[in-house]
Homo-oligomer: A and B are copies of this chain.
Amino acid sequence: MKYSVIVIGDELLIGQVTDTNSGWIAREVSPLGWEASSVKVVADDAGEIKLAMDQAFAVTDVVLMTGGLGPTKDDITKATLCEYFGGEMIYDEVTAQNVLEVVNRRGIKLNEYTRMQAMVPSSCRVIQNEVGTAPFMWFERDGKVAVSMPGVPHEMRTMMQREVIPQLSRRFPDGMHVEHRTLMVSGIIESALAMKLDDFENSLPESLHLAYLPNEGIIRLRLDGRHSDAVVLKNQLDKAVAQLHALLGNLIMCDGDVPLAAILGNELRKQGLTMASAESCTGGNIAHEITRIAGSSEYFTGSVTCYDTKVKINQLGVPQEVVDEYTVVSQPVVEQMVQGVCDLLGCDCSVATSGVAGPGGGTEETPVGTVWMAAKAGNRVVSQVKRFPGDRDRVINRATTEAMLLLLNLLQEE
Contact = CB atoms under 8 A, between A and B. Distances in A.
A363 interface: no
Smallest CB-CB A-B distances: 3 pairs: A283-B291, A284-B287, A15-B26
Interface stretch (A167-175, A308-316, A378-386): A308-316
**Which among A189, A274, A296 has the greatest number of chain B C-beta atoms within 10 A?**
A189
Contacts of A27: 14-16
B40 A13 contact: no
A27 to B, nearest CB: 4
Given A210-B74, A301-B308, A108 B283 contact: no
Interface residues of A, number: 110
Contact of A358 (B55, B194, B294): B294
Contacts of A1: none
Contacts of A41: 22, 38-41
A295 B358 CA distance: 9
Interface of A: 10-20, 22-27, 30, 35-44, 48, 51-52, 55, 59, 70-74, 108, 111-114, 131, 133, 154, 180, 182, 189-192, 194-195, 201, 209-213, 215, 220, 222, 224, 257, 274, 277, 279, 282-288, 290-292, 294-297, 300-308, 310-311, 314-315, 344-346, 357-361, 389-394, 396
Contacts of A390: 154
Contact of A111 (B48, B191, B215): B191
A315 B222 CA distance: 44
9 contacts: A12-B23, A12-B39, A14-B26, A284-B285, A284-B288, A294-B359, A302-B307, A303-B303, A305-B305
A154 B394 contact: yes
B111 A195 contact: yes
B307 A304 contact: no
Contact of A303 (B305, B389, B394): B305
Contacts of A287: 279, 283-284, 287-288, 305, 307
A83 to B, nearest CB: 19
A215 B20 CA distance: 13
B288 A16 contact: no
A43 B35 CA distance: 10
Nearest to A211: B74
A154 B274 CA distance: 35
Q: How many copies does the complex hold?
A: 2
Contacts of A24: 15
A303 B304 contact: yes
Contacts of A290: 283
A131 B394 CA distance: 15
B295 A302 contact: no
Contact of A14 (B36, B48, B51, B55): B36
A72 B297 CA distance: 40
A283 B288 CA distance: 5
Contacts of A201: 73
Given A10-B224, A74-B209, A359-B294, A195 B113 contact: yes
Nearest to A209: B74
Nearest to A292: B393
Given A15-B25, A190-B70, A212-B72, A291 B297 contact: no
Contacts of A36: 13-14
A14 B48 CA distance: 24
A346 B182 CA distance: 47
A344 B359 contact: no
Contacts of A224: 10, 14
A38 B10 contact: no
Given A283-B290, A284-B305, A113 B194 contact: yes
A148 B42 CA distance: 21
A331 to B, nearest CB: 21
Given A15-B23, A74-B209, A189 B108 contact: yes
Contacts of A72: 190-191, 194, 211-212
